[in-house]
Chain A
Amino acid sequence: MKWIAIALFAAVALLLPFFAGDFYVNLASQIYIAAIFALSLNLLVGFGGMTSLGHASYLGVAAYVSALMTTRYGLHHGAAALISILGTVAMAAFFGLIALRATGLGFLMITLALSQVLWGLAYRMSNITNGDNGITGITRPEPFGISLESPAAFYWFALITAVIAFVMMTVFVSSSFGSSLKGVRDQPRRMAALGFNPWMVRWITFVYAGFWGAISGLLYVYYNKYIHPTSLSTTSSAEALLGVIAGGSGTLAGPAVGAALVLLLKNYVSAYVERWNMLLGLVFLFIVLVMPEGIVPGLQKLAARLRRRSS
């Protein structure tokens, strides 16, 4: 039963561009981008117990670097992507050194502060970032000579990247390193006594999450062909965190579901409901009250209860 559902879902995901209109294909591409971003944040929030309010930094910086490299310095997309990923990962490594001096609320505030610094820079260094006008004239790359201009082509590109990201992050948390990460989240002292270095475990996770944040940032800028300081804003970080918590932090599929929910409310439901912000709040409230662990664990529990009752 479970496998049939998965196979069905995979078939729909794969063949979507053949039966859905461009608008829906584009919407789905955006969901994949938001899902990668939420999954990377979930490594910190769900598996590492490090609630970050500055994850948009990685998405935004990767997007800005790629945009600047291609539009201003005329670099090839491959080289630009490489510089952008390396730069963002280096930044994550550095930010990790600062932010991981604290845990809990302190960690949250430091990540928030760091992301605000970047947001401010994007606004004010207008000779480089073009400030509030953002950067226009960005093109999409052509991997192996295939143009990604059409919604369908970009959709498959985003789908492949999302699948790779999902697998890579699943491998990461299922590995023995993932176990030590969960150990550090739940019992840092005991883990230290066992000879693990909790700081190092957290730092590596932080950098790895930064890496996938950068990947989602690249997809984001390729998709929008435009970048503006709002993508570095706290709102952008908070929306992703909302998705992670709504979907179920610390689960593998939860953040993707949550990210899809937030994105659909924002971009699709808003066409029919004027006060979509309020609706988003109500949905979130409902999740917190009824399924405090998130949608995915909540539904799993519901399914288990139904099964027990029927047997």
Chain B
Amino acid sequence: MTISRRQFVSTLAGASAASLASPGLSFAQGSGPIRVGLLAAKTGPLASGGIDMELALTMFLKDRDNTLAGRKVELIVADTAGVPATARTKTQELVEKNNVHCIIGPLAAFEALAIIDYLTEKEIPTLGVSAAEDMTQRHPSPWYVRLTSTSAQCTYPLADYSLKELKYKKIVTIADDFAYGHEMCAGFQRAFEDGGGKIIQKIFTPLATPDYGSYVAQVKTDADALFLGTAGSNGFRFLRQFIEYGLKDKIAVIGGMTALDESVLRNMGDEALGIITTSWYSATLDNPLNKAFAPAFRKQFKYDPGYYAASTYLSGQVLEGALKTIKANAEDKKALMAAIRGNNVDTIRGLVKFDEFGNVIGNVYIRKVTRSDGRLVNSVIKTYPDVSQFWTYDKKEFLKNPVYSRDYPPAKNLEL
């Protein structure tokens, strides 16, 4: 990708010199390509997700001959390194130096939070991937939409499924000790306890935990199931130790949208079989668009696309839909944003709609790890259609409460 980036820079040297002198310069429609910025962490601890984001979006554009709605598209990828201050500088580079028309990404909540004020000020349509609840709740931005899910959005259906189909009564949650983990567990806990279940223990582990042994030993074995709210490779590492301690036969495991992501699953063996997770996507989704995407991705890169790859491909589809509506006039940013929000686009995850806060209303899938063609896959066992970030709760009441955190909503059923 470095090369294409360099080529892009050299071909645009003249134009960027002009834009250097007058940064506000905007091109008339058709006089240049649509410039799309991708913010992805390609170095640092979040790199594997960031690289998948780039691969999938590049593939999306390549399949369309780098043309959306009849106009050429230039993709400019910036590496945020998973650091908020760097994310901000890189965003400024995309906006001020490269004059992008819209931005896809970034991945981590703290990266998105670091740049959202700036993007709102500069009025750049942003198709977000990160999950921080408040970005589409108490502090929404007119220039930000999220196409994936909030931290908790996918856990509500799982809580419902755990109560009604799996008949679980007592659950232990374990998650990474940062905002994403807190929000996810809080959402799961709320829906699970409102339905009559009990969260008897909540464990939060540091993001970089070299050894899960001491945490595994803490797990209360009288629970019906363990909810795994980890991100990245942590789920895989936790589970390995969980099995070594012989707990797998005692407690069932269920997980959030990143716990057994396809990118984690490819490193696992039979120990993962039967684990139930929830997500807005699965590589095995049976719709025509995903049937075109997932096998092609697999053919090219030798593994199934997961959360991160799907997120940018999905962004590409939503962007394409909006560009068709406004006849590729990406210079009219207000119209572009209105089209993004107003369109109901059919995508690899199913139909995508937005609520008034810019958050997606879409299908959430309950998935079970099975073996198919010799590899582990997340096969869909139940679909919850059109899940909103507010689940079945009243929107106004929901927003009156504080944002989900480590301590909110309070866990009343903990067993000491």
Q: List chain A positions with a Cβ less than 8 A from chain B.
A: 19-24, 26-27, 30, 123-124, 126-127, 131-134, 136-137, 220, 224-226, 228, 230-231, 266-267, 270-277
In angstroms, Cα B96 to Cα A126, docked, is 33
In angstroms, Cα B183 to Cα A126, docked, is 13
6 residue pairs, one from A and one from B, having the closest CB atoms: A23-B96, A21-B20, A132-B178, A23-B97, A22-B96, A132-B179
How many whole Å from A240's CB to the nearest CB in chain B?
A: 13
Q: Which residue of B lies closest to A275 (CB)?
A: B43
| Residues A133 and B132 in contact in the complex (CB < 8 Å), given A21-B19, A225-B117 | yes
In angstroms, Cα B92 to Cα A27, docked, is 9
In angstroms, Cα B36 to Cα A235, docked, is 31
Residues of chain B with a CB closer than 8 A to A26's CB: 89, 92, 96
Verify B84–A267 contact, CB threshold 8 A. Answer: no
In angstroms, Cα B44 to Cα A230, docked, is 13
Verify A23–B93 contact, CB threshold 8 A. Answer: yes
In angstroms, Cα B98 to Cα A22, docked, is 11
Contact partner of B85 among A22, A231, A277, CB < 8 A? A231
| Residues A266 and B86 in contact in the complex (CB < 8 Å), given A23-B93, A276-B43 | yes
Contact partner of A23 among B43, B81, B92, CB < 8 A? B92
Interface string of B29-55 (1 = CB under 8 A from A): 000000000000011000000000000
Verify A131–B114 contact, CB threshold 8 A. Answer: no
In angstroms, Cα B23 to Cα A20, docked, is 9
How many whole Å from B232's CB to the nearest CB in chain A?
A: 14
Residues of chain B with a CB closer than 8 A to A276's CB: 43, 79
Residues of chain A with a CB closer than 8 A to B139's CB: 136-137
Q: Which residue of A lies closest to B115 (CB)?
A: A226
Counting CB contacts under 8 A, is B78 at the interface? Answer: yes
**Residues of B in contact, count (CB < 8 Å):** 44
Counting CB contacts under 8 A, is B88 at the interface? Answer: yes
Q: Which residue of B lies closest to A22 (CB)?
A: B96
Verify B178–A27 contact, CB threshold 8 A. Answer: no
| Residues A134 and B114 in contact in the complex (CB < 8 Å), given A22-B23, A270-B81 | yes
How many whole Å from B371's CB to the nearest CB in chain A?
A: 36
Contact partner of A225 among B89, B110, B118, CB < 8 A? B118
How many whole Å from A45's CB to the nearest CB in chain B?
A: 22
| Residues A136 and B117 in contact in the complex (CB < 8 Å), given A224-B88, A272-B6 | yes
How many whole Å from B95's CB to the nearest CB in chain A?
A: 8
Q: Can you identify 26 A-B contacts, CB atoms within 8 angstroms?
A: A21-B19, A21-B21, A21-B23, A23-B97, A123-B177, A124-B177, A126-B405, A131-B182, A131-B405, A133-B113, A134-B110, A134-B114, A136-B116, A136-B117, A137-B139, A225-B117, A228-B85, A228-B110, A230-B85, A231-B85, A267-B93, A270-B81, A274-B1, A274-B43, A276-B43, A277-B43
Counting CB contacts under 8 A, is B11 at the interface? Answer: no
Verify A30–B23 contact, CB threshold 8 A. Answer: no
Counting CB contacts under 8 A, is B166 at the interface? Answer: no
In angstroms, Cα B22 to Cα A19, docked, is 9
Residues of chain B with a CB closer than 8 A to A127's CB: 405, 407
Verify B2–A24 contact, CB threshold 8 A. Answer: no
In angstroms, Cα B10 to Cα A272, docked, is 11
Verify A21–B85 contact, CB threshold 8 A. Answer: no
Verify A30–B178 contact, CB threshold 8 A. Answer: no
Known: A124-B177, A226-B84, A226-B114. 5 other contacts (CB 8 A): A26-B92, A126-B405, A225-B118, A230-B84, A267-B93
Counting CB contacts under 8 A, is B327 at the interface? Answer: no
Verify B84–A134 contact, CB threshold 8 A. Answer: yes
